[in-house]
Structure 1
Amino acid sequence: MSKNLLALITTDLRAAKMRDPAARNYFEIIFTYSGFHAIFLYRVCNILWNIKLKFIARFLSNIGRIISSVEIHPAAKIGEGLFIDHGSGLVVGETCEIGKNVTLYQHTTLGGISPAINSSSQRNVKRHPTIGDNVIIGSGAQVLGPVFVGNNARIGANAVVLSNVPDNVTYVGIPARKLDSISKSKDFNPYGIGDGKIDDPNKKSIHALFKEIHELSEKLEKMQNILKKNDNIYKKYIKKKGNIKNESEL
């Protein structure tokens, strides 16, 4: 095992221990963490891919997918300190690039958006996202296409990211929208959704609609009162006019 590979795997191992409160020791991570198994096999397969042993790399990568339920293409470029928590159903595409100290949760997809037709025109083309350093991507999130996710960004659970994400922000929703700025100095948050004080991104719109409905109801009530008052005035006028007419006939 090369010194570089050993250093990368050691950093990945430390990342799991540091970021998962359930990790009691390194021994437990090595033997029971499917996310770590996936990363370990990716590191090996990536070396094989880079020295042109591509079939062997893909073959071992497929074994890793069967073992861990995590699919990482051996051509992907991944920095040190990657942590995959609850590794299951996670996909990292061929042209994906991931920075340092990134955290991915289960069922995350870092994929492409091109249809499965005319695949020959898509070879050797950037099709997958680039993830910056210190990024957290929540469970079920999908980052699709050759978009860039900035450093220290957080992607909320089940978000669908289709455009670039700036540094130091949280994106949530479908399609994903900016929620708030975050500080790099904030402690690690397991599910990438901020500090627990996050409002639904549609909350303001819903409140505005309810406020408008309430205002319209008040206006409608005032109009009904005015109409009722005018109706009473009209009835009095008709009644008075009728009395005057009867008196003139006498």
Structure 2
Amino acid sequence: MAPGALRGRVGAAWARVSKEVGTVAARISEDIDAAIERDPATDSRVEMALASPGLHALWAHRVSHAMWTRGARLPARLLSQASRAATGIEIHPGAQIGRRLFIDHGMGVVIGETAEIGDDVMMYHAVTLGGRANAKIKRHPTVESGAVLGAGARVLGPVVIGAGGQVGANAVVVKDVPAGATAVGVPATNRVPELHGEDVLFADPALWI
């Protein structure tokens, strides 16, 4: 290979790597900003980056998911299990997760293989996105952008939590939750709040316990 062609290939490879590194760095910064915005107990970016198990689990998942989709399934599972041991949060490498997910506290969270999560979703500890079938089908929930899942919520099967929907603490959801609605109880029932914006967050403290 001519020296000029070799330099061209090396330059192109370096450009790709630099672009990917820049994208990863930007995504990490975005995750930290989103976490600080939602967690009033922390206002330091360094503290959030070093001490948030939710962020650590999310970052590990991004790596394991990339491995999973490229066919390296055993290493992906091993990484996900190592992350589970370190953070108490279990996310299957096959799960599809959007941007700026924030898992507050995190202990006991389980996200199944065919779960799909949109952007700007927030969930508290002990949330389960579980399946109700053993077949290799879409068997886990879809959580659309802007949804909030309260502590201990169980969302089971291929149900859809609509955009901006909310699931109360310890609710068991086995049916779709419409966009903007709130699901509470066992089994959960849906209701559309009369309040809007930030007022909804404080209308029912049981949502966030």
Query: Shared fold (TM-score greater than 0.5)?
Result: yes
Contact persistence 1:16–1:29 (CA under 8 A): yes
- What residue is the counterpart of 1:71 in the other structure? 90
| Long gaps (5+) in structure 2 | 1-16
Structure 1 position 178 matched with structure 2 position 185: no
Which residue of 103, 107, 111 maps to 1:84?
103
CA RMSD of aligned residues (A): 2.0
- What residue is the counterpart of 1:196 in the other structure? 203
SS at match of 1:110: strand
Cα displacement string for residues 96-141 of structure 1 (whole angstroms, at most 9, x for unaligned residues): 0000000010000000012xxxx4xx12x10100000000000000
Q: By how many angstroms is 1:49 displaced?
A: 1.0
* Aligned-partner Cα distance in 2 for 1:110–1:6: 28
* Aligned-partner Cα distance in 2 for 1:25–1:44: 25
* Aligned-partner Cα distance in 2 for 1:42–1:6: 16
| Long gaps (5+) in structure 1 | 200-250
Where do 1:82-231 residues align within 5 Å?
Answer: 82-114=101-133, 119=134, 122-123=135-136, 125-181=137-193, 186-187=197-198, 194-196=201-203
* Aligned-partner Cα distance in 2 for 1:98–1:180: 22
Q: By how many angstroms is 1:182 displaced?
A: 6.0
Larger Rg: 1
Q: Which amino acid aligns with 2:41?
A: A
* Aligned-partner Cα distance in 2 for 1:11–1:182: 32
Contact persistence 1:90–1:106 (CA under 8 A): yes
How many residues end up aligned between the 2 structures? 187
SS at match of 1:181: coil
Name the CA shift for 1:148/1:137 in 2 (closer, same or farther; >3 Å). same
* Aligned-partner Cα distance in 2 for 1:34–1:144: 24
- What residue is the counterpart of 1:38 in the other structure? 57
Q: Which amino acid aligns with 1:154?
A: Q
Which residue of 42, 51, 69 maps to 1:23?
42
Contact persistence 1:168–1:182 (CA under 8 A): no
